[in-house]
Amino acid sequence: MAAKPIASPIPVLMYPTLSVFTLAIGLVITAIFFIYEATSSRKNCSLGKELATATGFGSLFLLLASGVYV
C-alpha cells in the first residue's frame, strides 16, 4: 500500500479569503473587548465575560495562526 500524501482540508485557492476573514473577526473581537474594558466600571465588571472573550478567542486565533486547524 502506498501512503497517501497529507492534504489540507481547505483548498489552497481559499487561503487569502480565509486569512482576511479570520483577521477581520479577530480585529472585531479585539475592538469589542477593548471597548468593554474602557467603558465598564469596577462595579459592573464581569470576570467571566473578560476571561471568555480573551481566553477563548485568543487561543482560537493563536492556533489558527500557528497552522493548527480547529
Q: What's the pLDDT tens digit per position in 37-68?
A: 788 777 777 777 777 666 666 677 777 777 77
pTM over 0.85: no
DSSP 25-63: HHHHHHHHHHHHHHH--STT--HHHHHIIIIIIHHHHHH
Dihedral of the CA atoms 4, 22, 68, 58 (nearest 10)?
Answer: -170
Q: Residue type for 36, please? A: Y
